[in-house]
Amino acid sequence: MLHIELLTIFTIGYLAIIFDRFLHVNKAAIALVMGALCWLFFFTQGDNLSVFSEQVYEVAQIIFFLLGVMVIVEMIDSHHGFKLVTDLIYTSSKRRMLWFLIGISFFMSAVLDNLTSMIVVISLMRKMIPSVKDRLFMGSVIVIAVNAGGAWTPIGDVTTTMLWIHDKISTWETIKDLFLPSVICVVVSGLLASLYIKGEHAKVEGGIRRLKMEPGAKRVFFLGLFSLVMIPVWKAFLGVPPFMGALLGLGIIWLCTDIIHLRHGEERWHLRVLHILTKVDMSGIFFFIGILLAIDALGAAGLLTEFASFLDRLVPNQNWVAMIIGLISSVIDNVPLVAATMGMYNLPMDHTLWQLIAYAAGTGGSILIIGSAAGIVFMGMEKVHFFWYAKKVGWIALLGYLAGFGVYLLMQPL
């Protein structure tokens, strides 16, 4: 009976999340209600406090990590520190601009995250690409680039971070095994996209090229970048949980910026962490909390194990399982998909399935614009229509996804 109740709550909640725009209700609120109700029904079966405590600890690790990283990135952005990078990529050639944007997006999202990288690149394109048509098409390719870039490092995407925090993948093995497939995904997509882009656009001197960096911007940029890069280093060499590395980096930047701006008082209040905290996307944080709580309730009830057995019988080849998950992630948010998969399989760290899921869940979300956070942000900021993206770019993303998937399989020993 409990399984039916949990499945009913999860199904209704998830459908409501998918159609939240039609319901005019924030998906974070739906996710929180769904997660809380799942555990309330779980507790009706008896004393499960110890199980609940274990699950909450795992959720808290991810949330603390995301919060720390998001504030660090917001600090860099508020100081206009990203201008150090964006000033280097301007060109009047459309194709050259496309490849510059692909390259910077791919590597930026590997170090930061795909959502932040997408926002930065959109802002850059608005200043340097006057044609709306060109901007929409290039921006759609950038969605592919940031998602692929986030797939080959543990801190580049929420899903790879989840796998990493739960010891499903390790830092160096992930970089070694997924870098080439991710590059192939981007290169194939970029080559196909460049066939439809030609000519030059007028040089734009305004906007970001005249934007001045705030005081201390360079120090904040390099300190923030160093803090983010050191997170996997602390874990690899000292065994420090990722969220501790993120909080350490945030604390150091907080201290440094307070010292830099202390004597200027209210004049630089907008550059202090207490103000930056008001700009962090808390609805996104609460959405993750609700989703992860709901998934953990299904796992604690044994539903995910049963689904794993069914999937194994239906699709015996685990490589095909990963490919299917990637395709599903183009429609359904990849966070619950990956969370569910972690509960379904008991496999050693860096198993082929975990590596493939890290790649598939990240890059598969590019096939449709609603399949990733980067795509949804691009859709909202540039008013991109779902069917336009599906027609113009969806097939490009699909071929890139399949090419990278195939390269990973070819890299495996026979």
Q: What is the DSSP track for 5-53?
A: HHHHHHHHHHHHHHTHHHHT--HHHHHHHHHHHHHHHHHTTS--HHHHH
Structural domain contains residue 80: yes
Which distant-in-sequence residues (6+ apart) come within 8 Å of 47 by Cβ? none
* Confidence at residue 356, expressed as pLDDT on a 0 to 100 scale: 92
What is the Cα–Cα distance from 150 to 218, expressed in whole angstroms? 24
Domain range for 67: 50-411
Q: Which residues, at least 6 apart from 397, have a Cβ–Cβ distance to it below 8 Å?
A: 143, 144, 189, 363, 366, 367
Whole-angstrom Cα distance, residue 399 to residue 393? 10
DSSP assignments along 159-216, one per residue: HHHHHHHTTSS-HHHHHHHHHHHHHHHHHHHHHHHHTT--SB-----SGGGTPPPPTT
Tokens (6 digits) for 217: 């911007």
Please report the pLDDT score of residue 203 as a whole number. 57
Q: Show the tokens assigned to 196.
A: 């439809």
Q: Which amino acid is at 264?
A: H
Position 198: which residue type? K
Are the C-beta atoms of 405 and 178 separated by less than 8 Å? no
Phi, psi values for residue 329, rounded to 5° = -65, -10
Residue 293 and residue 381: Cα distance in Å, rounded? 30
d(CA 63, CA 78): 22
Length of the chain: 414
- Say if 207 falls within a structural domain: yes
pLDDT at residue 189 in the model: 94
Sequence-distant (≥ 6) Cβ neighbours of residue 230 within 8 angstroms:
245, 249
Long-range Cβ contact pairs of 134-137 (< 8 A, separation 24 or more) = 134/94, 134/197, 134/201, 135/382, 136/382, 136/384, 136/388, 137/193, 137/196, 137/197, 137/392, 137/393
How much is the pLDDT for 202? Answer: 58
Residue ranges, the chain, pLDDT below 50: 207
**Which DSSP letter does residue 155 get?**
T
Q: Is residue 301 part of a domain?
A: yes
CB 34 within 8 A of CB 6: no
The reply to whether 130 falls in a domain is: yes
pTM: 0.73
User: What is the Cα–Cα distance from 249 to 270, expressed in whole angstroms?
Assistant: 20
pLDDT (tens digit per residue) in 183-241: 999 999 999 999 888 777 655 555 455 667 788 888 999 998 898 888 878 877 887 88
> Is 10 part of any domain?
no
Residue 21 lies in a domain: no
In contact, 149 and 179? CB cutoff 8 Å:
no
Q: Which amino acid is at 385?
A: H
The DSSP bridge partners found for residue 229 are: none
Our count of domains for the chain comes to 1
pLDDT of residue 90: 67
Residue 47: the pLDDT is 64
In a domain, 257, yes or no: yes
Which amino acid does the sequence have at 101? L
Collapsed DSSP state (helix, strand, coil) of residue 82: coil
